Amino acid sequence: MNPAVPPRDDILIEIEKATGYTFTNPSLCLKALQTAGCAAAGGQKSLAQVGDAALRLALVTIGYGKGASRGQIDSALRTKASNSHLADQGFERGFDGCVYRIGGVDVSMKMMATAVQAVLGAVFLDCNKNIYRSPTPYPDD
């Protein structure tokens, strides 16, 4: 574990504040913050795949519900689900202080985007795959 990363309970509090979601299974959240080099079986990569799919599903469903055109939905997907946007959101919310990584390595944009996707995946699984119970992906953006 990186000594710069705060204790487990502090990490959970920070992530829950940043997402607006309280985990019933905190281990999902913590797994989402483990980079590939810090954990067996690739760390957060599988959760990041779930998070990417859940984010896309949420954005398409929200767009559909608002009567958005396919072009508008595609534009939202290109913007909101992009690695650069996800990384920016993670850094703005202080996730970089919560990501477990090997020996003080700086959190890159790619690492941050993967961590945000993994946290979204953890939320999606923790709320029993109910996108309506999950927090809306970055509603203010």
CATH architecture for the domain at 8-126: Orthogonal Bundle (1.10)
Taking only the tens place, the pLDDT of each residue in 49-107 is 999 999 999 999 999 999 999 999 999 999 999 999 999 999 999 998 888 877 778 99
How far the first Cα of the chain sits from its last, in Å, is 33
- As beta bridge partners, residue 100 has 34
Q: Rounded to the nearest 10 degrees, how much is the dihedral formed by the CA atoms of 13, 89, 6, 100?
A: 120
What are the domain boundaries of the chain? 8-126
Taking only the tens place, the pLDDT of each residue in 114-140 is 999 999 999 999 998 987 765 544 344
